[in-house]
Homo-oligomer: A and B are copies of this chain.
Amino acid sequence: YDLRLPPPTLEDLRSDGSRLQAQLAEEYGLADLSFDFELLRRLPDLLRGNEWSGSVALRGREVIGFLPPGQEFLGLAIDLGTTKIAGYLVDLVTGQLLAAKGVLNPQIRYGEDVMSRISYAMKEGATRLQEAIVGALNDLAQALCGECGLEAEQILEAVVVGNTAMHHLFLGLPVAQLGLAPYIPAVSEALEIKARDVGLSIAPGGYLHLLPNIAGFVGADHVAVLLATGIHEAEQATLGLDIGTNTEITLAVGGRLLSCSCASGPAFEGAHIKDGMRAAGGAIERLRIVDSQVEYQTIGDLPPVGLCGSGVLDAVAELLRLGIVDEKGAMRDHPRVRRIDRDKEFVLVEEGESGLDREIVITRRDIGEIQLAKGAIRAGINVLLSEAGLTDSDLEEVIIAGAFGNYIGIESGVAIGMLPPLPLERFKQVGNAAGMGAKIALISKEMRAQAAQIARRVEYIELTNYPSFAEEFTRSMRLGPAR
A328 at the A/B interface (Cβ < 8 Å)?
no
Q: Is the CB of A173 within 8 A of B13?
A: no
1/0 contact trace for A155-190 toward B, CB 8 Å?
A: 000000000000000011110110001111111110
Chain multiplicity (copies): 2
Report if A182-B10 is in contact (Cβ < 8 Å); known contacts: A15-B213, A189-B17, A189-B18.
yes
Complex contact A44–B177 (CB within 8 A): yes
Name the prevailing secondary structure of the A interface residues: mixed
- Interface residue A339 (Cβ < 8 Å from any Cβ of B): no
B182 touches A8 (CB 8 A): yes
Question: With A181-B10, A184-B8, A187-B35 in contact, do A174 and B18 touch (Cβ < 8 Å)?
Answer: no
Interface size class of A (residues with CB under 8 A): 35 or more
- A12 smallest CB distance to B (angstroms): 8
* A48 contacts B by Cβ under 8 Å: yes
A187 touches B13 (CB 8 A): no
Residues A221-259 near B (CB distance < 8 A): none
The reply on A320 being an interface residue by CB < 8 A is: no
Distance between Cα atoms of A215 and B21 in the complex (Å) = 16
A259 to chain B, nearest CB (A): 12
- State the CA gap A17–B189 with chains docked (Å): 7
Q: Which residues of B contact A21 (CB under 8 A)?
A: 189
Contact A191 B16 (CB under 8 A): no
Residues on the B chain within 8 Å of A465, using CB:
10
Q: A41 interface residue, CB < 8 Å from B?
A: yes
When the two chains form their complex, are residues A176 and B13 in contact, meaning their CB atoms are under 8 A apart? no
Question: Smallest CB–CB gap between A58 and chain B, Å?
Answer: 15
Report A8-52 residues with CB < 8 Å from chain B CB.
Answer: 8-10, 13-18, 21, 34-35, 37-38, 40-45, 48
* CA of A166 to CA of B380, assembled, Å: 62
Additional pairs, 17, CB under 8 Å, beyond known A17-B189, A37-B191: A8-B182, A13-B215, A15-B185, A15-B186, A16-B184, A16-B187, A34-B192, A37-B193, A37-B197, A40-B173, A40-B186, A40-B187, A41-B174, A42-B174, A44-B177, A44-B186, A45-B174
The 13 listed contacts between A and B (C-beta, < 8 Å) are: A10-B181, A10-B462, A13-B182, A13-B184, A14-B184, A15-B188, A16-B177, A17-B189, A34-B189, A37-B171, A41-B172, A43-B187, A45-B174
